[in-house]
Structure 1
Amino acid sequence: MMAVVQWLQILFLVGTSAVAGSDEVIKRFPLLMPQVTPTMDDTYFCTPIRIDPTMDYYITGFQPNTTSATAHHMLLYGCMTPGVDEDVWNCGGMAVSNAGYSTAPTCKSGPQVIYAWALDAPALLLPEGVAFKVGKNSDIKYLVLQVHYASKAPFIDGLKDDSGVFVYYRETPQPRTAGVLLLGTGGRILPKSVEYMETECTIKEDKVIYPFAFRTHTHQLGRVVSGYKVSRNGGEDVWTLLGKKDPQLPQMFYPVVTNTTIRKGDRVAARCTMVSDRDYVTRIGSTAKDEMCNFYLMYYTEGTSPLKDPKCFSLGPPFYSWTRGGFNNIPDADASSLPVGETAKEMGVVRHQM
């Protein structure tokens, strides 16, 4: 294993660009895998950077440095403390472990997703004035990159990999603070079936959030992933669509389809419509043979702190459904369908294989 150098690095200038209409410079930092070689399928590697504890930084953009031929997906976490004090470790939960590396969670404390990538999604630039705050006066003291290598085939000749993300940031405070709310499920998909994997939670914090982007994620069986804001009006549920996509398309952050605000007491809900032609039960898990059901909602707040609880999970089928959660006026047809021309097949995209 290479020396623990990246672990001790602090955000520094490697590239700059001027901000239009100001003297400010946007800086860029490379958070990349330090030339790793996965030796097993379904490898999850993590690598961290420690953020300068004497300053605040404001992350405004992300540029991926990989392709789907190499990495299945990448997640960038903000952590209070990383999973282990090393420069690379196995961090895939129930997935495989590569010999020579420790096994630990992505974060030991304070985990929150701030960026996600899959299926050759392009770069992401946040709206003007919006940023993820990290550093001195933030709960995010470390950034941890997690890369899922679904196959070891690209590395059978001992090739090394530097997949990762270029992080763009500013040093001047921004008026709006970004956050990501992750909705997901557990559960299982029966053989030869169509399964709805559903989740929801109530916003309990006295804070107004402004959704501006969403991202969907499943493995091979996902056909539609949809997310909603649900508010109450005289005992009836009012469903406001935030976004939906075929998860076999590039898994980038797309603009929300409805400009709305989410407040204390509102609920957020997501459904993954899964179609299985398999002869066996498929369960939620970390490997290519498993499934995932995720809806990421990126938002901002007018202030200096995002939601304290960034996760919303249910047990999934057969234990949880929107009906069991007490919802009414459920938009079944809308939640599991896409407009003509918006499926991966109609757009000429080969359905994702891992």
Structure 2
Amino acid sequence: MWTKILTMIIVINLIDIGISKPASGTSEENRQLPEKKNSSIRLKLDKPGVKYGDHYLCRAERIEERRYLTEIAPVKSWGANHKSSLHACPRPTVEEHGAVWPCGEMSASLFDRDHEHYAVCHPEYDGLVLYEFGDEQGDEVGTPLKLPQGVSFEVGEGTKYPYLVVKVYYGNSMYYFSGGMTVYGDDDLPGITYLYQTEPTRYEAGVMLLINDGVLRPNSDMPENENVLDVVCDPTSMHRHTSVIAFAYRVHAHSRGVLISGFRLRGSVNQEWTLIGSRSPQEEQRYYPISNPLQIRPDDCLIARCQYDNPTNETIMLASRREREMCRFHIMYYMERPVAHANETSEERFWENFCVAFSPIRITDMSDYLGDIPKWVEEVSLKKVN
């Protein structure tokens, strides 16, 4: 079985970590700060004679207690990986203890072709991307994600996300041959490290995801060669019943992606457009802070635009495979954790956390619903392509 081809270890260290004083005026100011602990999930590949380069691999850890994650960062092995991510899953694709599975573009030389494209989380469940670091050159360590004071991701036993899954991309095969190449120790294994506490924070973090799963047409088929896919999520397509504060965003596309932008649209008469964030998916695909954190209300409309450059004559399906394309705009938010509902997860008391569009209709074709699109919206979401 392919699950026996690879083995992996989880290294967990518990140490005392000091944290800064909460902002003045919070309810936490006059009480003792909770202890923070450090944990890491790392990969170890030790099958002799197997080439591990150019592969995504995953390993899940079931968290047997409630943990509140406040900081996430990559653990980089020298020359080993240049992409890693941490996911929260209701259920991973593979639950077998100690199993490692292919969770991206896999080569049939390493795994049976029937098992090439396993997902991170089980396809029947929606997971969250808590952190991702990507450096195409493999030179950088990665920017840690530090949540605002008093904010955390709730994971573990009794929550919607009892599993954490680490995903690592092995981009340089020369380091993974047994015999003749250097074998690294446990302290130099790639993976993810995170800070957590076992006492709830005042605010709970979550992620909303705007997706277009349609098709990418050639540039020549698009008006003025402006090749875009739009996502419009009105209150009926993403149900929610409380307001949140959005404080970070992340974009994701593959090689043809040029620019991805997100907006909040408020009001049905005097409509107000606000930019959430805009960035090229060819830059480091991590969460970036929103310049001015903004409130998202239940009656707000959320909009994303993905711009591409497809100079070929081919129509490309949107899917997770590398040769396909993707259109994803992530919004990281926080909300107050209701004391009366301490045993509920955020999604049970909040809203659906994703919205999917399949239509190629542009926002400029939806004036009956969206009204007149401000000129600056078009300008900020379109980049000149040579």
Q: 8 Å contact 2:52–2:176 — kept in the other structure? A: no
**Per-residue Cα deviation, 1:274-297 (whole angstroms, up to 9, x for no partner):** 123345444323343322221111
Distance in 2 (CA, whole Å) between partners of 1:321 and 1:95 is 34
1:232, CA displacement in angstroms?
A: 2.1
Equivalent AA in structure 2 for residue 112 of structure 1? L
How does 1:328-339 map onto structure 2 within 5 Å? Answer: 328-331=371-374, 333-335=376-378, 337=380
Normalised TM-score (structure 1): 0.79
Q: CA RMSD in A?
A: 3.4
How does 1:27-66 map onto structure 2 within 5 Å? Answer: 27-35=37-45, 39=51, 43-52=55-64, 55-66=65-76
User: Is 1:99 aligned with 2:99?
Assistant: no
Aligned to 2:227: 195
User: Is 1:212 aligned with 2:228?
Assistant: no
Distance in 1 (CA, whole Å) between partners of 2:43 and 2:192 is 9
How does 1:118-137 map onto structure 2 within 5 Å? Answer: 118-119=134-135, 120=140, 121-137=142-158
Distance in 2 (CA, whole Å) between partners of 1:152 and 1:218 is 22
Secondary structure class of the residue paired with 1:212: strand
Distance in 2 (CA, whole Å) between partners of 1:332 and 1:41 is 46
Secondary structure class of the residue paired with 1:18: coil
1:126, CA displacement in angstroms?
A: 0.3
From 182, 200, 210, give the equivalent of 1:183. 210
How does 1:60-79 map onto structure 2 within 5 Å? Answer: 60-66=70-76, 71=81, 73-79=83-89
1:316, CA displacement in angstroms?
A: 4.8
Change in Cα spacing, 1:194 to 1:35, as seen in structure 2 (3 Å) is farther
Aligned length: 331
Distance in 1 (CA, whole Å) between partners of 2:80 and 2:320 is 17
Equivalent AA in structure 2 for residue 216 of structure 1? V
User: Is 1:257 aligned with 2:285?
Assistant: no
Distance in 2 (CA, whole Å) between partners of 1:259 and 1:50 is 32
Distance in 2 (CA, whole Å) between partners of 1:260 and 1:226 is 15
Secondary structure class of the residue paired with 2:295: coil
1:2, CA displacement in angstroms?
A: 7.0
Q: 8 Å contact 1:117–1:251 — kept in the other structure? A: yes
Q: Is there any run of 5+ residues in structure 2 with no aligned partner, and where?
A: 22-31
Change in Cα spacing, 1:286 to 1:39, as seen in structure 2 (3 Å) is farther
Indicate the structure (1 or 2) with the bigger Cα radius of gyration: 2
User: Is 1:112 aligned with 2:133?
Assistant: no
Normalised TM-score (structure 2): 0.74
How does 1:144-293 map onto structure 2 within 5 Å? Answer: 144-149=165-170, 151=171, 153-155=173-175, 157-158=177-178, 162-186=189-213, 187-191=215-219, 193-201=225-233, 202=235, 203-234=238-269, 237-278=271-312, 280-293=314-327
Change in Cα spacing, 1:288 to 1:131, as seen in structure 2 (3 Å) is same
Q: Which has the higher helix share?
A: 2
Secondary structure class of the residue paired with 2:292: coil
Change in Cα spacing, 1:43 to 1:126, as seen in structure 2 (3 Å) is same
Q: 8 Å contact 1:271–1:335 — kept in the other structure? A: no
Distance in 2 (CA, whole Å) between partners of 1:196 and 1:5 is 41
Aligned to 2:362: 321
Change in Cα spacing, 1:295 to 1:3, as seen in structure 2 (3 Å) is closer
Change in Cα spacing, 1:240 to 1:155, as seen in structure 2 (3 Å) is same
**Per-residue Cα deviation, 1:255-302 (whole angstroms, up to 9, x for no partner):** 213332112121211111112334544432334332222111100011
**Per-residue Cα deviation, 1:288-330 (whole angstroms, up to 9, x for no partner):** 332222111100011154344222221153xx43345542333
Aligned to 1:13: 13
Secondary structure class of the residue paired with 2:363: coil
Q: 8 Å contact 2:58–2:102 — kept in the other structure? A: yes
Change in Cα spacing, 1:249 to 1:338, as seen in structure 2 (3 Å) is farther
Secondary structure class of the residue paired with 1:334: helix
Change in Cα spacing, 1:300 to 1:167, as seen in structure 2 (3 Å) is same
1:336, CA displacement in angstroms?
A: 5.2
Equivalent AA in structure 1 for residue 283 of structure 2? L
Q: Is there any run of 5+ residues in structure 1 with no aligned partner, and where?
A: 346-354
Aligned to 2:24: none
Distance in 1 (CA, whole Å) between partners of 2:247 and 2:80 is 29
**Per-residue Cα deviation, 1:50-78 (whole angstroms, up to 9, x for no partner):** 101xx321000111124897546433221
Change in Cα spacing, 1:110 to 1:312, as seen in structure 2 (3 Å) is closer
User: Is 1:294 aligned with 2:328?
Assistant: yes
Q: 8 Å contact 1:225–1:335 — kept in the other structure? A: no
Q: Which has the higher strand share?
A: 1
Distance in 2 (CA, whole Å) between partners of 1:83 and 1:225 is 29
